[in-house]
Amino acid sequence: MLDKNRTKRTTVWDVFNQVYKKIIGWGRKYSLWPAHFITGCCCPEFMQVAGPRYDMERFGILPLPSIRQADVLVIIGVLTRKMARRVKMLWEQMAEPKYAMAIGACPIDKGPFYDSYSVVRADEIIPVDVYVPGCPPRPEAMIQGFMILQRKVEEGV
Amino acid sequence: MRISWGPQHPMSGQVRILIDTDGERVLNIIPDIGFTHRGIEKILENRNVVQGIVPIERMVMVDTANIALSYVRAAEEILGIEPPKRAQYIRVILCEVCRILSHLYGFGLAAEACGGYPAVFLWTTADREPFLDLMERITGTRWSYSFFVPGGVYADFPDKIKEKFLATLDYFEQRLEAYRRAWFENKIFEARAKNVGILKPEDALRLGAAGPNLRGSGVALDVRKDEPYEAYDEIDFKVVTRPEGDSYARLMIRYLEMVESVKILRQAIENMPSGPYRKFVSPLRRLPKGEAYTRVETARGEIGVHMISDGGTKPYRVKIVSPTLRNLYVVSQMPKISEVLLADVPVILYSFDPWYLDADR
Amino acid sequence: MVEATESKILETIKSNFLQDIEEAEVLRPKRISITVKSEKIVDVARFLKEKLNFDYLLSVSAVDYIKENRFQIIYYVLSSKNKIVLLLRTNIPRDKPSVPSLISVWEAVDYHERETWEMFGIVFEGHPNLTRLLLPEDWEGGHPLRKDFKLSSSEGV
């Protein structure tokens, strides 16, 4: 009689799978390419993160023009209803695996515009993976957000 | 053919620009704004005059001091108080640093639009860092300071950073020289921007261009000289104009205004008087009935805040007269007043330095 | 032209449009405010532009005086020669809000009158393109800056 609770013996295939996942995870997390897309007023701080002092390209983050080849959709700044339709269209055009980040207090929970008639939260539109609070968040906070996303990418492979 | 230059684009910003073309010639430019409309005017009816500083300064993040100043001055005019002299000098310092930050930003984006020169864009990003460090020492944050209040400023100017400030200004003057040599004397920039998008002075006044765009066509209107506010009447500087009216002249004006801002900063730091920095005004104080219209010269043009109060703690109506909305109308009329080719559209648009959050409010 | 002061300008306007001016005052140095009847606003505006050098239009807005059942429309005009700002006001009833457009006088009112229509519901007769400017294309919620439009703290998309 076969005992179903017996632990499976480790095979060559399992070892190969572990190594394969590690390499894919390393490759994916160090080349997260966001699409060129800004929605609100946190954008100058994002430009400073892309600048020479807080260089984000050393983490492999390179903004990319085409949405179909992008990995991350970064919502930087306030998200209004008019822009939310476009965000939904962009999210549906992206290829798997795709991730989303909400940077700033406004896409998380409307920020200083909490009673506005035209501002929406980002996770009412798309499923968000990482939230970076702040108004605007410090560059170190944005980089930490990207590093949390990198860990999530590596573990999720 | 209609081209939709949309919100997801490396160089478009938060706007959709519809361009009707016939071959290479542009027939119509239609800006479709409203992607960042937050309803600030409605929100400000629900905030008292100290709470209202937070939403309004996020109208233009690079230029927060000038925008917040217009709202705070409107509140002060209704309340009938005048800030102390030291506070006026501190306000001038913050406003001029924000003017430099904003011109660096607009000028870096224009350089990238004119030829895809990420080098100049990254130089401007790097040159903003010393000023952001100074702002952090004075106010506590890098952007969106919330530092101006009705009655003065929140905290005192730390005198021990005067030397660091002056050293930063010396470094920045060297950088301005580098920009002049690398960019303004660059043959490619001259070929792309000279004689492109010419705006004559009578068209500039008729269509409502604002700020450096008006001065780039020879019209010398600058609120800092026409109606001096804060400490500008005690500081010596000149209003920069250029007669040509093309995109090169408009970008040159921004460069020359940065040179003037450095002069203003030096004078303000050296002549700062001592004394109190704030007259305390309670945020729960009832505003007297009345109205006030203030004008402040921001980096993009003249902003106006019309505040009407009916006697409560919150204003009845706040109207913000935005400079970028006026500039965008001029851009949309450009194909009718001069010949515009398809490749000139980004150059013209970025020479007007639009910031769409300011047009949308 | 000789530099005109604020009171001289007011005298010239009052002597030309005696019965159409409801109120005219100097608010403070360099600020004038006049209130005219809404039928005569185009004539007064043309006089201001051609005879008194008020050539630069800053903006257009409106105020909702719901308790007195009226709207007040305000045109902000600057004289580039004298550096004086004039607030040209007119009152219209709240139930039938319509006023002649000033687009034949100052071309730059285009976007501003569109925005005032969108936010308050005031029809500017003669405007060639009274369509949406800031709100999304499928906005159904009414006119936001009216006083009976209440802000709520959270709404769905």
List all residues of chain B from 332 to 361 with a beta carbon under 8 Å from chain A.
Answer: 357
Average pLDDT over residues B89-111: 91
Residue pair B143/A136 in contact (Cβ under 8 Å)? The answer is yes
Each residue of A130-157: pLDDT tens digit?
999 988 899 999 999 999 999 988 887 6
Average pLDDT over residues B279-288: 84
* B98 CB within 8 Å of a chain A CB: no
Work out the burial of residue A133: count CB atoms within 10 Å of its CB; fewer than 13 is exposed, 13-18 middle, 19 or more buried: middle
Do the Cβ atoms of A115 and C153 come within 8 Å? Answer: yes
* C59 CB within 8 Å of a chain B CB: yes
Predicted local distance difference test score (pLDDT) of residue C41: 87
Residue pair A152/A99 in contact (Cβ under 8 Å)? The answer is yes
Residues of chain A above pLDDT 70, percent: 94
pLDDT band at C154 (very low <50, low <70, confident <90, very high): very low
pLDDT band at B318 (very low <50, low <70, confident <90, very high): very high
Tokens representing residue C107 in the block: 């071309």
What distance in Å separates the CA atoms of residue B234 and residue B229, rounded to the nearest whole number?
Answer: 10
Work out the burial of residue B358: count CB atoms within 10 Å of its CB; fewer than 13 is exposed, 13-18 middle, 19 or more buried: buried
Nearest to B61 among A37, A44, A119 (CB): A44
What distance in Å separates the CA atoms of residue B135 and residue B93, rounded to the nearest whole number?
Answer: 10
Provide the 3-class DSSP secondary structure of residue B303.
Answer: strand
- The residue of chain C with its CA nearest to that of A109 is C154
Each residue of B231-242: pLDDT tens digit?
898 898 899 999
Residue pair B331/B29 in contact (Cβ under 8 Å)? The answer is yes
Nearest to A115 among C135, C144, C151 (CB): C151
Do the Cβ atoms of C153 and A114 come within 8 Å? Answer: yes
Question: Sign of the CA dihedral B65, B67, B69, B75?
Answer: negative
Quick one: CA torsion of B57, B61, B66, B71, rounded to 10 degrees? -10
Tokens representing residue B140 in the block: 């506590």
Q: How would CATH label the architecture of B40-327?
A: Orthogonal Bundle (1.10)
- Best CA proximity match to B295, nearest among C62, C35, C85: C85
What distance in Å separates the CA atoms of residue B95 and residue B63, rounded to the nearest whole number?
Answer: 8
Helix or strand run (H / E) with residue B262: helix B247-270
User: What would the 3-class secondary structure string for chain C be?
Assistant: CCCCCHHHHHHHHHHHCCCCEEEEEEEECCEEEEEECHHHHHHHHHHHHHHCCCCEEEEEEEEEEHHHCEEEEEEEEECCCCCCEEEEEEEEECCCCEEECCCCCCHHHHHHHHHHHHHHCCEEECCCCCCCCCCCCCCCCCCCCCCCCCCCCCCCC
Residue pair B218/B243 in contact (Cβ under 8 Å)? The answer is yes
Do the Cβ atoms of A78 and B42 come within 8 Å? Answer: no
Helix or strand run (H / E) with residue B292: strand B290-297
Answer with the residue of higher pLDDT: B114 or B44.
B44
Residue pair B257/B238 in contact (Cβ under 8 Å)? The answer is no
Task: Find chain C residues with C-beta within 8 A of B304's C-beta.
Answer: 58-59, 76, 85
What distance in Å separates the CA atoms of residue B209 and residue B319, rounded to the nearest whole number?
Answer: 19
Predicted local distance difference test score (pLDDT) of residue B287: 87
Nearest to B33 among C83, C133, C145 (CB): C133
Residue B282, pLDDT > 90, answer: no
Nearest to A48 among B8, B128, B144 (CB): B128
Average pLDDT over residues B5-16: 84
Predicted local distance difference test score (pLDDT) of residue A66: 86
Q: Mutate which of A46, A47, A68, A73 to test chain B, going by most B C-beta atoms within 10 A?
A: A47
Predicted local distance difference test score (pLDDT) of residue C152: 66
Point out the residues of chain A with pLDDT beneath 70.
1-8, 157
Instruction: Give the gap in angstroms from C-alpha B123 to the nearest C-alpha of chain C.
Output: 34
Answer with the residue of higher pLDDT: C10 or B327.
B327
Residue C157, pLDDT > 50, answer: no
Do the Cβ atoms of A51 and B129 come within 8 Å? Answer: yes
Residue C153 CB coordination number (10 Å): 8
Length of chain C: 157
Numbered residues of chain A with Cβ closer than 8 Å to any chain B Cβ: 35-45, 47-48, 50-53, 63, 65, 67, 77-78, 80, 82-83, 86, 90, 112-113, 115-119, 135-136, 138
Predicted local distance difference test score (pLDDT) of residue A131: 93
**A vs C: CB pairs below 8 A:** 28
pLDDT band at B262 (very low <50, low <70, confident <90, very high): very high
Work out the burial of residue C28: count CB atoms within 10 Å of its CB; fewer than 13 is exposed, 13-18 middle, 19 or more buried: exposed
Q: How much is the mean pLDDT over chain C? A: 84
Residue C115, pLDDT > 60, answer: yes
Nearest to A81 among C149, C152, C157 (CB): C157
Fill in the amino acid letter for B16.
R
Task: Find chain A residues with C-beta within 8 A of C152's C-beta.
Answer: 115, 117
Nearest to C151 among A82, A84, A117 (CB): A117
Each residue of B290-304: pLDDT tens digit?
889 999 999 999 999
Residue B98, pLDDT > 90, answer: yes
- The residue of chain A with its CA nearest to that of B102 is A44
Residue C72, pLDDT > 60, answer: yes
Predicted local distance difference test score (pLDDT) of residue A3: 58
Tokens representing residue A141 in the block: 């906070």
pLDDT band at C155 (very low <50, low <70, confident <90, very high): very low
Predicted local distance difference test score (pLDDT) of residue A4: 60
What distance in Å separates the CA atoms of residue B37 and residue B257, rounded to the nearest whole number?
Answer: 30
Q: Among the listed ranges A103-112, B332-341, C138-147, which one has the minimum average pLDDT value?
A: C138-147
Tokens representing residue B218 in the block: 């020879």
Residue C1, pLDDT > 70, answer: no
pLDDT band at C43 (very low <50, low <70, confident <90, very high): confident
pTM for the full predicted model: 0.90
Q: How much is the mean pLDDT over chain B? A: 89
Q: Mutate which of B326, B333, B357 to test chain C, going by most C C-beta atoms within 10 A?
A: B326
Q: Which chains touch C (3 or more CB pairs under 8 A)?
A: A, B
Q: Where are the domains of chain B?
A: 40-327
Instruction: Give the gap in angstroms from C-alpha A15 to the nearest C-alpha of chain C.
Output: 48
Predicted local distance difference test score (pLDDT) of residue B171: 93
Residue pair B210/B301 in contact (Cβ under 8 Å)? The answer is yes
Provide the edge-to-edge strand list for the sheet that holds B290-297. Answer: B290-297, B302-309, B317-321
Each residue of A66-79: pLDDT tens digit?
888 888 999 998 99
Do the Cβ atoms of B304 and C76 come within 8 Å? Answer: yes
Predicted local distance difference test score (pLDDT) of residue C16: 78
